[in-house]
Amino acid sequence: MSLRDCRVVLVRPSFPGNVGATARVMRNFGYRQLTLVAPKADLNDREARRLSTHGEEILDQARVVDSLAEAIADCVMVAGTSARTGKLIRGQSGPPEAIMPQLATAASSGPVALVFGPETNGLTNEEVTCCHHLITIPADPAYPALNLAQAVTICLYLLRRECVQTPEMRAIARPASFADQERMFEHLRGALEEIHFLYGPKADALMHSVRHVIGRSSPTDMEVGVLFGLARQIRWYAAHHRQSTGPLTPEQH
């Protein structure tokens, strides 16, 4: 996906400063398509220009339309944002980390859009129904409504992180296979037995705890490799320690 294919849609923005700050953060993260739906803010306002630092071209090329339907007509997926979690949106809402991978995947098939409602009251129920997903950014329940430009920043950063991963980054992030983890645990168990960390009738229960601690983190290929290295080093040390001091006894572990 090219980040240029991701559209940022501001619905009825009221404050020129927020529009300018949005253009700036779009420039920061490599986005270019800004669409404004029935804006109340003036794109040429001094505050919009002042806060758009190096994003003036995005403001100049911004598309202005009358309705959200017009802004997203050609999009294959649309994700809106809201601080609300009521019954209407409960089934389609989630944190940005859950929504962005789906948006990035859909972008391989066509344009996608991130939609942000007006500062005062957010998207209407009718506008929410136009969105395939609704992003709810976790915040303190006492005051969950973020500034518009802040919400745009969080969403664009997380979407960029999904879209620009190199093959090397994906390899690092991918959990290791079950088979590789099992081989690692087998080597680690053998090493822990050699230093008598695992010893006697409680060895199986203790190894279960070790597996749980490691397994719940979904170790990556790289991390499993590190644990293989740890097991080898433990066995090397145990072998050399035995040569110099004799066999370990249970009291020595």
pLDDT level of residue 217 (50, 70, 90 thresholds): confident
**CATH of region 178-252:** 1.10.8
Q: Which one-letter amino acid corresponds to residue 226? A: V
Q: State the Cα–Cα distance between residues 53 and 227, nearest whole angstrom.
A: 47
- Dig out the tokens for 112 from the structure: 């996608």
pLDDT of residue 154: 96
* pLDDT tens-digit map of 67-103: 999 999 999 999 999 866 554 444 567 899 989 988 9
Q: State the Cα–Cα distance between residues 110 and 76, nearest whole angstrom.
A: 6
**Model confidence pTM above 0.85:** no
- Dig out the tokens for 229 from the structure: 């290295």
pLDDT level of residue 105 (50, 70, 90 thresholds): confident
pLDDT of residue 92: 62
CATH of 3-164, one of 3.30.720.120, 1.10.10.10, 1.10.3720.10, 3.40.1280.10: 3.40.1280.10
Beta pairing class for 112-116 and 77-81? parallel
In the chain, where are the structural domains located? 3-164, 178-252
Q: State the Cα–Cα distance between residues 69 and 213, nearest whole angstrom.
A: 49
CB-CB contact of 199 with 250 (8 Å)? yes
pLDDT of residue 143: 87
pLDDT tops 60 at residue 247: no
**Mean pLDDT on 27-56:** 95
Alpha helices in the chain (DSSP H): 16-29, 46-51, 56-60, 68-71, 87-90, 96-106, 125-128, 148-163, 167-173, 178-194, 203-215, 221-245
* pLDDT tens-digit map of 166-185: 555 555 556 788 889 999 99
pLDDT tops 60 at residue 42: yes
CB-CB contact of 119 with 90 (8 Å)? no
